[in-house]
Amino acid sequence: MRQTIGILGGGQLGQMMAISAQYMGHRVISLDPNPACSASKVSDQTIVADYDDRQALRQLAETSDLLTYEFENVDAASLHEVENKVRIPQSIRLLEITQNRRLEKEFIESSGLKVAPWLSIKGPEDLPSKITKKQVLKTSTGGYDGHGQLVLTPDTDLTEARDLAAYTDCVLEDFISFDKEISIIVSGNGRGDYVTFPVCENEHRHNILHLTIAPARISDELAIEARRIAFHLAEKLQLAGTLCVEMFLSKDNQIYINELAPRPHNSGHYTIEACDFSQFDLHIKGILGEPLPEPQLLEPTIMVNILGQQPQELAKLRPSWHLHDYGKAEAKPGRKMGHITILTKDFSKTLKEIDKL
């Protein structure tokens, strides 16, 4: 049955959610403060308003059959005001957990899973007087792509850290010496059915995802353990839609959860070309409560982000590479403008080609 899906957020994730929904025959209404946002190009209607605009959110709720969100920095309190007007299968609870690093870590630990050792920092007085090992101070809310983070070492002047802790609640994490950063996408339909995509391997540069390799170059045993963790979290959350579990793999093969993303994720973009169903397809099916297929990886792949400081024309030099241009009007350094997906059976050769760009 045709549904009207309201999407909070009009960035590239909202755009790709909308494309999947449109292919399935559904209507899409996006809400975003930018009238020329990426999702507006593929939506039936765009409501131009801030994410915490109560009147606009009520309009979205009253004209949609269900709501979903494309990123976690939306106002959970606003969603509570419309939860009696419209279905929010993705759940406000999941949003509240994942938009607060302290709550997220407490939830993960209560699920019996590992995170890096950490402290809750509610003010400058909670910071240690001296840093004795490498640690990372992160704001509890609002951070992404390295924003709201300070790396602390024994040589660090703590003035900036104290200023940050005085401004907002933070968490102080021990720095994990990891061998690889990995992630896994899991989807659920809110009815107890859960499926996962292959574990993938991620490389960050300046705290922004540079590329993703799928499947990850790890042992079968570690891949099975990563899937177990994803299923366990999905069950605890009664997941509807798509969730990304970002992890660190330590040098002694221990898996630590870095963070959860309660929606499709940058590291899952490869699924559009490399799998029979994409992470966006299963997000839409999941929030609609439909049966979920077990996604199959059709071919190994590498996904590369295109940032504002990079010329997008470079991708067109390889006719076999899949270019996704998000249609953003203004290119800024560090801003994700698009991505390239490369189907490949030779990771080493393809990585060398990427390095030449």
Q: Is the pLDDT of residue 318 over 90?
A: no
CA dihedral sign, ordered 63, 287, 199, 324: negative
The pLDDT assigned to 315 comes to 55
Q: Please work out, in degrees rounded to the nearest 5, the angle formed at the alpha carbon of residue 134 by the alpha carbons of 129 and 137.
A: 70
Give the integer Cα–Cα distance in Å for 117 and 240.
Answer: 29
Q: 114: which 2 tokens?
A: 């590992």
Q: Is the pLDDT of residue 160 over 60?
A: yes
Structure pTM? 0.94
Please give the sequence-ordered ranges of beta strands (E in DSSP) within the chain, or none if there are none: 4-8, 27-32, 45-48, 66-69, 118-121, 135-139, 149-152, 170-174, 178-189, 194-196, 200-205, 208-214, 240-250, 255-261, 301-307, 322-325, 336-343
Question: pLDDT tens digits for 274-306?
Answer: 999 999 999 999 999 999 999 999 999 999 999
Mean pLDDT is lowest, of 80-89, 164-173, 231-240, 307-316, for 307-316
The pLDDT assigned to 74 comes to 85
DSSP state of 324: E
Higher-pLDDT residue of 116 and 74 is: 116
Mean pLDDT of the chain: 94
DSSP state of 111: T
Q: Please work out, in degrees rounded to the nearest 5, the angle formed at the alpha carbon of residue 120 by the alpha carbons of 115 and 122.
A: 160
The pLDDT assigned to 357 comes to 75
> What average pLDDT does the segment 133-148 reach?
83
The pLDDT assigned to 195 comes to 98
pLDDT band for position 340 (cuts 50, 70, 90): very high
Q: 6: which 2 tokens?
A: 């309201």
> What average pLDDT does the segment 32-57 reach?
96
First to last CA, the chain: 45
Burial of 206 (0-12, 13-18, 19+ CB in 10 A): exposed
Domains of the chain, first to last: 4-88 (3.40.50.20), 117-174 (3.30.1490.20), 178-355 (3.30.470.20)
